[in-house]
């Protein structure tokens, strides 16, 4: 066998795995949309098969059943936001810049992946039943909390931030400031005429920057 023959053989051997990965990815992408649009109960495997270009038997062979596919899609939703958080490399930034970068990332992630919030809403309606069954919870937990702790400590040490801020509380606060208007866009528009469009979200982004950095600022009245 020539060197080129061996190379071709290796490529052919890898192709089934690559094809399987592409198929699983297409199914998960379709499942995220279907489950977020219709919830776990209303989602249809037929619709996921059609959207992903696969088949029901293929979906069942990859994920077992509908509940297994929902669990995989929910896990994927968390994995994607965790991957984005890791790419921020917040610890390399000055404290105020780091918090600003997290604010911007949070809004952009919610805006570019509208299914993310809807998946979390559905799971909370189920009482978090599925998220508790995901075995590798370490992968879906945010390592950003430790980074925020370091950033807050640095900020307190150099006088940028006040001390005593819990990183998990800050993380939840930033998330909630964007989560609520995006999650409740339809009712906010109907009741208050509040438009959650690009212009509205840009105003919201600027306001959240001011709110969060103001919350973190040292208290001028505190004893020194």
Reported pTM: 0.84
Q: pLDDT of 167-195, one tens digit each? A: 999 999 999 999 999 999 999 999 999 99
Domain ranges of the chain: 91-224
Cα→Cα distances 114→67, 187, 208, Å: 21, 16, 19
Q: What is the pLDDT of residue 156?
A: 97
19/21 Cα distance (integer angstroms): 5
Of 47-61, 102-116, 147-161, 209-223, the range with the lowest mean pLDDT is: 209-223
> Is the separation of the CB atoms in 99 and 120 below 8 Å?
no
Q: Mean per-residue pLDDT for 72-96?
A: 93
What class has domain 91-224? mainly alpha
- How far apart CA 143 and CA 180 sit, in angstroms, is 23
Q: What is the mean pLDDT of the chain?
A: 89
Q: Per-residue pLDDT tens for 105-163?
A: 999 999 999 899 999 999 999 999 999 888 566 777 778 899 999 999 999 999 999 99
Residue 99 contacts residue 216 (beta carbons within 8 Å): yes
Q: Which residues contact 96 (CB under 8 A, 6 or more apart)?
A: 155, 160, 213
- Which residues, other chains included, contact 120 with Cβ-Cβ below 8 Å and sequence gap of 6+? 77
> CB under 8 Å to 85, separation ≥6 — which residues?
105, 142, 143, 144
């Amino acid at each position: 066998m020539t060197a080129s023959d061996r190379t071709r053989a290796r490529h052919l051997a890898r192709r089934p795995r690559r094809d399987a990965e592409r198929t699983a990815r297409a199914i998960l992408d379709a499942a995220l949309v279907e489950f977020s649009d219709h919830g776990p109960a209303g989602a249809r495997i037929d619709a996921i098969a059609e959207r992903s270009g696969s088949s029901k038997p293929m979906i069942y062979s990859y994920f077992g059943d509908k509940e297994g596919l929902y669990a995989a899609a929910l896990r994927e939703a968390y994995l994607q936001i965790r991957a984005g958080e890791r790419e921020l490399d917040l610890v390399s930034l000055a404290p105020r810049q780091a918090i600003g970068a997290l604010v911007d990332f949070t809004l952009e992630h919610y805006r570019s992946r509208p299914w993310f919030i809807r998946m979390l809403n559905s799971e909370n309606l189920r009482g978090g039943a599925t998220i508790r069954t995901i075995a590798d919870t370490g992968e879906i937990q945010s390592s950003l909390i430790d980074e925020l702790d370091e950033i807050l400590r640095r900020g307190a040490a150099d006088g940028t931030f006040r001390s005593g801020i819990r990183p998990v509380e800050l993380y939840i606060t930033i998330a909630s400031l964007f989560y609520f208007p995006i999650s409740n866009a339809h009712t906010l528009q109907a009741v208050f005429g509040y438009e959650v469009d690009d212009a509205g979200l840009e105003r919201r982004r600027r306001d959240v920057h001011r709110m969060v950095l103001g919350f973190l600022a040292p208290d001028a009245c505190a004893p020194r």
